[in-house]
Amino acid sequence: MENLIGDLDVLNPQDTETCETIHVSKDGNTGNKRKLYIESYGCQMNFADSEIVASILQKEGFDTTSDIATADVVFLNTCSIREKAEQTVRHRLVHINGLKKHKPELLVGVLGCMAERLKAKFLEEEKIVDLVAGPDAYRDLPTLISQVDDGQKAVNTFLSREETYADISPVRLNSNGVTAFVSIMRGCDNMCTFCVVPLTRGRERSRDPKSIVAEATDLFAKGYREVTLLGQNVDSYKWSPEENNKAWLEKNGSSNVVNFANLLEMVAQIHPDLRVRFSTSHPKDITDEVLYTMAKYENICKNIHLPMQSGSTRILELMNRGYSREWYLEKAKSIRHILGDDCGISSDMITGFCSETEEDHQDTLTLMDIVQYDFAYMFYYSERPGTLAAKKFEDDVPLDVKKRRLEEVVTKQREHSLLRNQLDVGKVHRVLIEGFSKRSEDDLQGRNSSNKVIVFPRGTHRKGEYVNVFVEECTGGTLIGRVVNS
Ligand code: SAH
Ligand code: SF4
Ligand code: F3S
């Protein structure tokens, strides 16, 4: 596993799309005059939102740029999930302050979860910030920008119960032209006690399935071959044609409700060559119907991100996760039973949550031994202001203990990732090519159905093609092979 980021705050063995990764806008060339530079932090949902922001502003005369020095407007799309994520943004603002000294007319805006959490306080705390917009306020950005043009500071952190940006066709900023993210819902109604997301993203709402299918169909027509359906808890996706309103649905019910399994099927039917992935599943909500739908369609990738957080039922209760260790293990068993051993299972883990004992920590390690995750994002607990845990519990595990436990979890995951990858050696995998390998343009890379990165000599193949690759060897993070009979 190569990518050990920071002081073990996160371990991400394969994918670079994780919390605290930064994405920078690409150069657009629609001939627009003003230049917009967006830097995105946090999760895939933030990256997808930046594409919505770029789309809204393109209509207002902005082109995106990858060079901050040429920008008229700089937006940081921020994350609040852990303290470190917020600190990164604060440091970045110090740097941008330097740029603004040479270019006083530069408009600096803070978007996303940190904007939502701190609201107008941001303007007091960070004098260089001109504009603050929360995740549901992006349609208002043109107005907010004109307020700043008129010499005022601008803030909109209103959280909506309806906004899904369903009609907005995102400008693909982070794209390799082959894989794309499609948001299917926003917000989160779970109240995991450690988590700031319900405070920063508001109430859960699902996007009209017609607009999701239309977006995925359009992506396929443009040459994309994989979509990842995004939501904080995709298994609670629920949309009714009568009225997309949870309270109404609970009261009246509806025979026409589209659930996540139905949506998956609708997207899978667009074309057999369009792969479908999704993230994130919640162990308490993923249904067998979803698993059987995955089994039914070859093009729904066999990989489930099923964050466990802790292996101790006592800690899971304090976290308000809504499942026990035993429940989680049953889910993992159902996945293996319905989708087979090749199905990838990944997880998120937090060490050192309030009152976590060595015994609780051992429960996490033993659960990992049973499930044997393909990979995991791992963190030590970071108390977030305003969360239930911050209000109710003491953050009483010393930092050095949190970090030591994290290291133990990371070491275990390393072993498991290698073991799981070794099982793939000697087999043929269908790979969607995403581009050159990170190390050399003589090699290409793509992923198999279970989300493993596979590197192989390029030959005459190109990105966007499917090839069959015989895997000959592996590391903990990558499978290495050669193309056979494709
Ligand atoms: N909706 C997803 C998680 C989104 S946040 C789910 O429910 O699984 C991504 C991950 O960040 C979480 O799974 C959790 O492991 C981690 N995380 C969230 N809040 C955290 C905190 N306060 N400290 C440390 N890690 C945290
Ligand atoms: Fe946070 Fe829990 Fe919602 Fe995930 S399900 S976003 S961890 S509150
Ligand atoms: Fe961060 Fe907000 Fe995503 S807090 S992880 S950017 S939903």
C-beta atoms surrounding 275 within 10 Å: 24
Q: Are 234 and 184 a contacting pair, CB within 8 Å?
A: yes
Residue owning tokens 């066709």: 169
Q: Which atom of ligand 1 is nearest to the CA of 190?
A: 7
| Closest by CA position to 170, among listed 49, 73, 267 | 49
The pTM assigned to this predicted structure is: 0.93
Distance from residue 194's CA to the centre of ligand 2 (Å)? 8
In the chain, what are the helix, strand and coil shares in percent, each to the nearest 5?
A: 35, 25, 40
Give the CATH number of domain 179-422. Answer: 3.80.30.20
Distance from residue 142's CA to the centre of ligand 1 (Å)? 32
Residues 78 and 39: their CA atoms lie apart, in Å, by 8
| Extents of the domains making up the chain | 18-156, 179-422, 428-483
For residue 188 the two structure tokens come to: 């989160």
> Residue 45: CB within 6 Å of ligand 3?
yes
Residues 333 and 145: their CA atoms lie apart, in Å, by 52
Q: Which atom of ligand 1 is nearest to the CA of 377?
A: 15
Point out the ligand nearest to the CA of residue 309. 1
Q: Residue 87 burial (CB < 10 Å; 0-12/13-18/19+)?
A: exposed
DSSP state of 13: S
Q: Are 130 and 147 a contacting pair, CB within 8 Å?
A: no
79 belongs to an annotated ligand binding site: yes
pLDDT at 21: 57
> Residue 190: CB within 6 Å of ligand 2?
yes
Q: Are 345 and 390 a contacting pair, CB within 8 Å?
A: no
Sequence-ordered alpha helix ranges (H) in 134-273: 141-149, 197-201, 209-221, 246-252, 260-268
> Residue 198: CB within 6 Å of ligand 2?
yes
CATH topology of domain 428-483: OB fold (Dihydrolipoamide Acetyltransferase, E2P) (2.40.50)
Q: Residue 383 burial (CB < 10 Å; 0-12/13-18/19+)?
A: middle
> Residue 231: CB within 6 Å of ligand 2?
no
DSSP state of 309: B
Q: Which residues contact 201 (CB under 8 A, 6 or more apart)?
A: 45, 113, 116, 135, 159, 186, 187, 188, 232
pLDDT at 8: 35
> Residue 76: CB within 6 Å of ligand 3?
no
474 belongs to an annotated ligand binding site: no
Per-residue pLDDT of the chain (486 residues; tens, 9 = 90+): 223 223 333 333 333 333 445 677 777 766 668 999 999 999 999 999 999 999 999 999 999 999 999 999 999 999 999 999 999 999 999 999 999 999 999 999 999 999 999 999 999 888 899 999 999 999 999 999 999 999 999 999 999 999 999 999 999 987 899 999 999 999 999 999 999 999 999 999 999 999 999 999 999 999 999 999 999 999 999 998 665 556 555 655 556 789 999 999 999 999 999 999 999 999 999 999 999 999 999 999 999 999 999 999 999 999 999 999 999 999 999 999 999 999 999 999 999 999 999 999 999 999 999 999 999 999 999 999 999 999 999 999 999 999 999 999 999 999 999 999 999 999 999 999 999 999 999 999 999 999 999 999 999 999 999 999 999 999 999 999 999 975
CATH topology of domain 18-156: Rossmann fold (3.40.50)
pLDDT at 416: 97
Residues 109 and 133: their CA atoms lie apart, in Å, by 8
Distance from residue 191's CA to the centre of ligand 2 (Å)? 7
> Residue 179: CB within 6 Å of ligand 3?
no
> Residue 200: CB within 6 Å of ligand 3?
yes
Burial 356-381 (b: 16+ CB within 10 A, else e): beeebbebbeebbeebbbbbbbbbbb
pLDDT at 437: 95
